[in-house]
Amino acid sequence: MAERLAVKKTYKLYVGGKFPRSESGRSYEVTDAKGRFLANAAWASRKDARDAVVAARKAVGGWSGATAYNRGQVLYRVAEVMEGRHAQFVDEVAAGEGVARAKAVSLVDEAIDRWVWYAGWADKIAQVVGSSNPVAGPYFDFSVPEPTGVVAVLAPQRSSLLGLVSVLAPVIVGGNTAVLTASAERPLPAITLSEVLATSDVPGGVVNILTGTLADTAPILAAHMDVNAVDLAGAAGDAERASALELAAADNLKRVVRAPEAEPDWIAEPGLERITAYLETKTVWHPVGV
């Protein structure tokens, strides 16, 4: 029997619930940790970043307006679909990160568990960080967390799935929408996650995933006046780039989650900081005794 011809994949971007090619028409080769060819990925340009922000902005109303309970259900469904793609994620993590198979399995398990963990927070975060405030007067007031809007996320460069989940899930669990740039050299788990999102119940535009270099898209996203917050995790260890991005983000007072000096170990317990980083507190006054 003749040897079967390899089906080499050429992936596209994920913007507004669709999979468009890069406006630039460019793509680049993704290799495994040993330099062997894995697939072609789309090389996003500044205009793809612009389109992604438009799609994310369009999705804010519906996603932030959904009940927290519903958002939790939708996110839990994503974890279910990820579980179905478990083997594919393991292959991609093992090849991209150059780790042993057993290690890759545990990383994928941890990533899915983390997604479930964040999904659970959807309808609990308001109880924990919100409050009802007795004040010195014949009335009462409430503080409730609200999403900040469109968040640009630079996904970690090294941890291609666990790190990715750890930065993406906390953005959308609070009702924000995301424009995410995947790890430049290890984008395959992010691309597979986009296929997961497209086949689960997450509305189009809530998560938009760009592949390519940070140099092409990160400065555009950081300076974009219609982006409300930016997570610089993907610029970890590159202080020069990180400070340039922070400077660009200052123009419209974006919330900035700063880049760490080195990429952290994502295995550690995450805490709520990444959720609350993208929430605004709204306090409303409420008359009592009427």
Residue 198 to residue 260: CA distance in whole angstroms: 31
**For 54-88, b where at least 16 C-beta lie within 10 A, e where not — what string?**
bbbbbbbeebbebebeebbebbbbbbebbeebeeb
> Partners of 144 in the beta sheet?
282
61 binds other proteins (CB under 8 A): no
| Cα 19 versus chain centre, distance | 17
Token pair listed for 188: 């395959």
Which of residues 59, 220, 236, 257 is near other proteins by CB under 8 A? 220
Closest residue by Cα to residue 185 from 217, 161, 157, 162: 157
50 binds other proteins (CB under 8 A): yes
In whole angstroms, the minimum distance from the beta carbon of 210 to other proteins comes to: 15
Which of residues 199, 251, 283, 287 is near other proteins by CB under 8 A? 251
Which of residues 7, 225, 262, 284 is near other proteins by CB under 8 A? 225
In whole angstroms, the minimum distance from the beta carbon of 91 to other proteins comes to: 37
252 binds other proteins (CB under 8 A): yes
Residue 248 to residue 254: CA distance in whole angstroms: 9
In whole angstroms, the minimum distance from the beta carbon of 226 to other proteins comes to: 3
Q: Which residue's CB is nearer to other proteins, number 239 or number 250?
A: 250
In whole angstroms, the minimum distance from the beta carbon of 102 to other proteins comes to: 45
Q: Which residues lie near other proteins (CB under 8 A)? A: 50, 53, 220, 223-227, 248, 251-252
